[in-house]
A and B are shown apart, each in its own frame.
Chain A
Amino acid sequence: MVSFSVNKRRVNLDVDPSTPLLWALRENLGLTGTKYGCGIAQCGACTVHLNGEAIRSCVAPVSRAAGKEVTTIEGLSSDLSHPLQRAWIAEDVPQCGYCQSGQLMSAALLLREKPQPTDEDIDEAMTGNICRCGTYPRIRKAIHRAAGMMAKGEAR
């Protein structure tokens, strides 16, 4: 039994503790917004927050989450109100959309640590997230837009 909290909800999972957190979220908890892309921490599609840190859930055993707080894309906001979600919509960022949960979770951490990120900061924070459709230029714009919204106090 592994106990932790997901998006502020307490969960107890009867699952092999070596199971990657990604598959526990997707298959045991039905939270399919977090995606599988590579299984070896190369693409970032599975990015979630563990006690506020961005981690690749495809290589993190679920036991690592024990007693901790996990935030997934479903917990970013309940109503699309997060500045990043609003900026993503305004810039029409997603194409196929598959990698975007991971992109958003990486960007959310960046903005928390650096509310006014430079292009270099964005490079550093986002380079672990692959997008095959090539939405990088729009992700960059959307992060700057979200930072602007937060600076103007438009954040939630």
Chain B
Amino acid sequence: MSGPQMERREFLKFSLAAGGGLLIGFSLPEADMLATAQAQSATVFMPNAFVRIGTDDRVTVIVNHSEMGQGVYTALPMLLAEELDADWNKVGFESAPVDPKYNHPVFGMQITGGSSSVWSAFEQFRKAGAAARAMLIAAAAQQWNANPATLRTDSGAVLDGTNRKLTYGQLAEAAAKMTPPTEVALKDPKTFKLIGKPVKRLDTSEKVNGKAVFGIDVKMPGMLAAVVARPPIFGATMKSFDDSRARSMPGVRKIVAVPSGVAVIADSFWQAKMARESLHIDWDDSAMHTFSTSQMMQQFREQAKSPGTRVRREGDPDTAFSQAAKKIEAVYEFPYLPHAMMEPLNCAVDLRADSCEIWTGTQFQTVDRANAAKIAGLPPEKVQIHTTYLGGGFGRRANPQSDFVVEAVHVAKAVGAPVKVVWTREDDMQGGWYRPAFLHAIAGGIDSSGNAVSWRSRLVGQSIFAGTMFESLMKGKEYDPASVEGVDDLPYAIPNLAVESHKADVKVPVQWWRSVGHSHTGFATECFIDELATLAQKDPYQFRRALLPKHPRHLAVLDLAAQKAGWGKPLSKGRGRGIAVHFAFESYNAQVAEVSVEDGKIRVHRIVSAVDCGHYVNPGIIAAQLEGGAIFGASAALFQELTFENGRLQQTNFHTFPMMRMNECPEIETHIVESNEKSGGIGEPGVPCTAPAIANAIFAATGKRIRKLPIRMTEAV
């Protein structure tokens, strides 16, 4: 298994250097047997792997990214339909099978992550649509004995100068006999009809009548249900188990040890779950039975007192700090966080002697297929993954070890029948692969005129990449780029700057969580810059502006958010405004939060979020992602943490791990900067600014600084 082919930043440099005119030579993967087999009977024209056109005029776009709420089943079809000049009312979508032809063009595998779906598909899907269009035109030209150059297309049909018209359905059969073009002309963006418009999502209907099929809804003939009793403490191993009572419970088919625990397989989920409660398992939990997060944080604090691995160093931060007119030191703490998708993990497997069919909501098809194949004892080509809708992903369903898929294949192997493994909410929350806990120790100083002159960030936390196939991304670096992203590129013009990283040696499984490193670096940097502004007795918005002379895109979102939020205008008594700006996943976001605190209870009244995500595809979806990102960020800021005592996780379900609810939800206003820059991400960039904007607003309202998440006024300083 190789890692991503190119790092994101290298890719951007490369693609910027490569530039691009309108006429681009390219090769698109062809349709193959697999995709054709999935095709409906009306289909006759499948010019490439991404589109099928039926004689019924239906255009089906095959989407190689997973739909987990972020809108790819709409945004990617829009890209293709734009260049195809399709009739949008006839456009549908389908999830791609696992096949190298559906690999992410930059990451080199089939994956949904890194807020990369739209930018990675931006040209690929347009070219696929343009190629299909060229073949349809060629077919019409042949029928009319006309010069293709004199023909035009509109709304799913080819037309000539006399308004003769053939629909794409009418042309489908003939178009299938045309030679695919080797190069295509792409539209001038000024002529876009779909791209840039708030087109309604294509997947809404089946999400409001219960028909959308998520992994947990998959049914197949003879399918059994399974739950797995997993270790109560990370790293624990099973010594023995007693299933004498469970075995005789209704519906139970088999109880068997699998590498991840003890699987209980029954006719139905509920029977399996009830039987699991009757198991007696003796675990050896000596590996981590004394682990506690409060002790771990104490250790992190100690570690942060010594210099870490150098990530970035400019000027002479130590001397500048010691000579600063005023200085401040702050320690910021962040807890472990689970993804807590509404749909708990699950995976259905039909394992046969020479095939393995998997139905699940995954973000990681290529990796899952490779890992599943090893367990199934089959070559990867014999393993197929049917990607269902994902009831939320947020990174959890892109697991480097394919934990929930591999386990289900083990269970299928043990039971010898089609089986669906379902995780309970408790299983899901206690199952690991969390956003790592982190500590940032920051020291900074200003000169006598109030200019920021020094900044030193020291980070302590677990590496996400270490020990995974993605370790190659660390490429000889002594630190994990996913730990320091968002502070390694601190945009503020501070002449003496140091960023240092300490690795933490903790065995809690960690993973990417919506916005990854930015989920903590955004908070630490944007709260500390606010603290420096206060030290300099300057307005926090203006203080940031002055430090961003070389970052016009940061400035533009900062100005837009401040202006729309009415920065500087009087607020009612007890309310405060806070601001934050951050760059992540190739997009710029700024947020202003309006907050009040009464009897220690925090109320977020309003959030204004402004984004520059480059050339955008669907402003409606972007607004939704900014709204959702702010709520995701606010939930983490206000409520959420995972803590361990004696090795045991203290949170199990939504009563101990709260989510923001309707009555707590602020008014959220979103604004998009018009831009012709290359497309950036949108799923994650809207998260990092929310927590610091809220914390800075609390300072404005109360004079108290928040340095630990989730926010507790009793711990404010």
A interface list, Cβ under 8 A from B: 16, 19-20, 23, 26-28, 30-40, 42-43, 45, 72-74, 76-77, 80, 84-85, 88-89, 92-101, 104, 122-124, 126-140
Option from B208, B393, B660 in Cβ contact (under 8 Å) with A100 = B208
Which chain B residues (61-75) contact chain A, with CB distance < 8 Å?
A: 67-71
Known contacts A26-B217, A34-B210, then 17 further A-B pairs from the complex at CB < 8 Å, ordered by chain A residue? A16-B270, A19-B270, A32-B216, A36-B422, A39-B426, A85-B208, A92-B201, A93-B204, A97-B389, A98-B341, A100-B207, A130-B661, A131-B342, A134-B627, A136-B661, A136-B662, A139-B662
Total CB contacts across the A-B interface at under 8 A: 179
A33 to B663, CA, bound (A): 25
Q: Which of B209, B211, B630 has the most CB of A within 10 A?
A: B209
- In the complex, the answer to whether A74 meets B209 with C-beta atoms within 8 Å is yes
A150 to B209, CA, bound (A): 19
Bound together, the chains give a CA A34 to CA B343 distance in angstroms of 12
Q: How far is the CA of A135 from the CA of B632 in the complex (A)?
A: 10
A72 to B211, CA, bound (A): 12
Q: Known contacts A23-B268, A93-B204, A138-B627; is A38 also within 8 Å of B653 by CB?
A: yes
- Please name all residues of chain B whose beta carbon is closer than 8 Å to the beta carbon of A30 when the two chains form the complex: 219
When A23-B268, A33-B210, A127-B661 are in contact, do A94 and B342 touch as well, CB less than 8 Å?
no
B205 contacts the other chain (CB 8 A): yes
Do A42 and B653 have beta carbons less than 8 Å apart? Answer: yes
- Give the CA-CA distance A124 to B662 in the complex, in Å: 9
Question: CA of A16 to CA of B272 in the docked complex: distance in angstroms?
Answer: 13
From A33, A92, A100, give the contact of B620 (CB < 8 A).
A92
Considering residues B206, B217, B391, which has the most beta carbons from chain A within 10 angstroms of its beta carbon?
B391
Q: Are B69 and A38 in contact (CB under 8 A)?
A: no
In the complex with contacts A123-B662, A127-B663, A132-B392, A137-B668 CB distance below 8 A: yes
Flag if B655 contacts A95 (CB, 8 Å).
no
Q: Is B343 in contact with A126, judged by CB distance below 8 angstroms? A: no
Residues of the A chain whose Cβ atoms lie less than 8 Å from the Cβ of B225: 27
| Complex: chain A residue closest to B620, CB-CB | A92
A129 to B659, CA, bound (A): 10
Q: Which of A32, A37, A89, A134 contacts B205 (CB 8 A)?
A: A89
In Å, the complex CA distance between A139 and B661 comes to 12
Instruction: Give the CA-CA distance A101 to B621 in the complex, in Å.
Output: 21
Say yes or no: A16-B216 contact (C-beta < 8 A), given A94-B203, A96-B389, A98-B343. no
Partner of A98, one of B203, B342, B624: B342
A-B contact pairs, 29 of them (CB 8 A): A16-B271, A32-B216, A32-B217, A34-B210, A42-B653, A42-B655, A45-B342, A76-B209, A85-B208, A89-B200, A89-B204, A93-B204, A94-B69, A94-B204, A95-B70, A95-B624, A97-B391, A98-B341, A98-B343, A98-B389, A98-B391, A99-B342, A122-B662, A127-B662, A130-B342, A133-B69, A133-B342, A137-B665, A137-B667
Which residues of chain B have a CB within 8 Å of any CB of chain A? 67-71, 200-201, 203-214, 216-217, 219, 225, 250, 268-271, 340-344, 389-394, 422, 424-426, 620-621, 624, 627-632, 653-655, 659-663, 665, 667-668
The residue from B207, B219, B344, B632 contacting A97, defined by CB atoms under 8 A apart: B207
Are the CB atoms of A33 and B211 closer together than 8 Å? yes
CB pair B210–A31 under 8 Å, yes or no, is yes
Task: Tell me which residues across on chain A come within 8 A of B653, comparing CB atoms.
Answer: 38-40, 42
Chain B residues with CB below 8 A from A31, complex form? 210
| B210-A132 in contact (CB<8A) | no
Q: With contacts A27-B225, A27-B268, A95-B71 known, is A123 near B663, CB below 8 A?
A: yes
CB distance from B275 to the nearest CB of A (A): 12
Contact A92 B204 (CB under 8 A): yes
Q: Is the CB of A16 within 8 A of B250?
A: yes
**A96 in contact with B68 (CB, 8 Å):** yes
Smallest beta-carbon distance B617→chain A, Å: 14
With most chain B CB atoms within 10 A of its CB, the pick from A36, A45, A139 is A36
**Minimum CB distance partner of A34 in chain B:** B210
Q: How far is the CB of A134 from the nearest CB of chain B, in Å? A: 3
Complexed CA–CA distance, A33 and B391 (Å)? 12
Most central of B214, B225, B621 by chain A CB within 10 Å: B214
B213 touches A136 (CB 8 A): no
A72–B210 touching, CB < 8 Å: yes
Task: State whether B268 touches A88 (Cβ < 8 A).
Answer: no
Q: Once the chains are docked, how many angstroms separate the CA of A107 from the CA of B71?
A: 24
Of residues B207, B344, B653, which shows the largest number of chain A Cβ atoms within 10 Å of its Cβ?
A: B207
